[in-house]
Copies of this chain bind each other. A is one copy, B any other.
Amino acid sequence: MKIGKLSTLTGVSIRSLRYYEKQGLITPERLTNGYRDYSPLTVHTVKTIKLYLNLGLSTEQIAGFLTCVLQNKEAFCLEVMPIYRQKLAEIERQIVELNQIRANLLDRMAFVQLEANLNTE
């Protein structure tokens, strides 16, 4: 199929499909006129890429295990583990940081509110 159809079938923009190709995630054939020609299997591939991108993984990280994941039905691929661990650590670090900022904001808001109340008494 051509790129427009793949785009509608996957909900991924044509621009992004070309980008994924440049990042080595998909490698379509070419028709004689130069148009990209995708296998029907690519629909699944692109949806898989989408899924990992939504996990916050980069295209480079995804490239590291995509082939394995696509061949072996599920996660028989041990190479995903270090990436998952790294991402998990990163996420948890961010959560801690955000919670600190959140606590700080709440403190400050309470303080401002307190001042406002004093002024209305």
Q: How many copies does the complex hold?
A: 2
Q: Does A109 contact B (CB under 8 A)?
A: yes
Dominant secondary structure of chain A at its interface with chain B: helix
Q: Name A51's closest neighbour in chain B (CB-CB).
A: B104
Chain A window 86-121, contacts with chain B (Cβ cutoff 8 Å), 1 for yes, 0 for no = 011001101100110110111011011101100000
Interface, chain A (partner B; CB < 8 A): 54-56, 74-78, 80-81, 84-85, 87-88, 91-92, 94-95, 98-99, 101-102, 104-106, 108-109, 111-113, 115-116
Residues of B contacting A92 in the complex (Cβ-Cβ under 8 angstroms): 102
Residues of B contacting A54 in the complex (Cβ-Cβ under 8 angstroms): 101
* A98 contacts B101, C-beta separation under 8 Å: no
17 additional A-B residue pairs with CB within 8 Å, beyond A75-B111, A95-B95:
A54-B101, A55-B101, A55-B104, A55-B105, A56-B101, A74-B111, A74-B115, A75-B108, A76-B112, A76-B115, A78-B112, A84-B105, A84-B108, A88-B102, A88-B105, A88-B106, A95-B98
